Each structure stands twice: as structure tokens, then as C-alpha cells.
């Protein structure tokens, strides 16, 4: 499974499952290296311009373009290009990703974020998803609807 992870997720301590390939754009690599967080095994890949344009267009429509950094745009573009799962706690990133049909997940950090938008939970691996899938995209388990907090 491919994961694209944003800089704040890495800085906040997101640890990818061992069987996942982590891909990040160079703009995110710069950010985490600046913070001395260069401990993850990852592949650096730059999104192609056509994907960046698609993301900018979507962000313009949702009104999120102004709050997204270049690294944020790169992260979303890369997830779109690589058909990867996006890991981010940033609402603007999540919003644009949703519009583009990108599967995203939040970092699991109970009590830190006050608003939860999760609505589906895998009965096998316990992951939360913002939308329904016939089966868990991660482990193939059954999804169950849970109350948003």
C-alpha cells in the first residue's frame, strides 16, 4: 500500500505500518529535514505538473487554495498521481482530497483534535474512514458505521 504523508503528520509522529511504502514530495522532505525529523524510510517523488494543476483547480473551487502551502499542494498532487492514501490532519488538505476522490486518513490522536469527522470504522484493523467502502482498503475487513464525535 502506498502512502503520501504530509509534513505535519511526520512531525507529529506518524509511524507508517511496515508494509506501506511512504512517498513524499521534495518540498515535504525539506520541511522534515529542517526539523531534524529525517528518520522515516521514504521515496521522494515530485508530482507532475498536470496533477498539480488539477489540485490547484479543485482547491480554487473549494476555496482552500489560499490556505494551502506549496508542500500541501504537492502532497495532494502526489496522492492523486500515485493513487495513494493520503495521511493528513489538515482540514483543507482533506477537503480538497475528498473532492478529488483521494482516499485519506487522519493520524490517530485521540483528544488532540476536538472535531472528528470519521464515520466508518474497519472492524478488523480499526482504521477510520471518511466515506464508505465495500471493504476496508487497507486490510479488506468489514466497515461499520460509527457516530461522529
Residues found near Zn ion in the complex (CB under 5 A): 122, 124-125, 136, 138-139, 141
Which of 91, 118 has the CB closer to Zn ion? 118
Which of 79, 136 has the CB closer to Zn ion? 136
Whole-number minimum distance, CB 85 to Zn ion, in Å?
12
Q: Give, in order, the Cα–Cα distances in Å from 108 to each of 35, 40, 113, 122, 141.
A: 22, 18, 10, 14, 18
Whole-number minimum distance, CB 36 to Zn ion, in Å?
33
Whole-number minimum distance, CB 138 to Zn ion, in Å?
5
Which of 55, 143 has the CB closer to Zn ion? 143
Helix pair 70-82, 91-99: axis angle to 10 deg? 40
Amino acid at each position: 500500500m502506498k502512502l503520501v504523508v504530509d509534513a505535519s503528520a511526520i512531525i507529529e509522529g506518524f509511524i507508517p505500518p511496515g508494509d506501506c511504502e511512504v512517498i513524499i514530495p521534495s518540498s515535504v522532505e525539506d520541511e522534515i529535514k529542517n526539523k531534524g525529523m529525517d528518520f522515516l524510510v521514504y521515496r521522494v517523488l515530485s508530482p507532475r505538473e498536470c496533477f498539480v494543476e488539477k489540485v490547484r483547480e479543485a482547491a480554487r473551487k473549494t476555496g482552500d487554495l489560499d490556505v494551502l502551502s506549496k508542500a500541501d499542494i504537492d502532497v495532494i498532487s502526489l496522492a492523486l498521481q500515485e493513487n495513494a492514501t493520503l495521511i493528513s490532519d489538515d482540514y483543507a488538505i482533506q477537503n480538497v482530497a475528498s473532492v478529488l476522490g483521494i482516499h485519506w486518513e487522519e493520524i490517530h490522536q485521540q483528544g488532540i483534535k476536538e472535531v472528528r469527522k470519521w464515520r466508518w470504522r474497519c472492524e478488523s484493523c480499526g482504521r477510520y474512514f471518511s466515506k464508505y467502502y465495500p471493504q476496508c482498503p487497507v486490510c479488506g475487513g468489514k466497515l461499520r458505521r460509527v457516530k461522529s464525535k
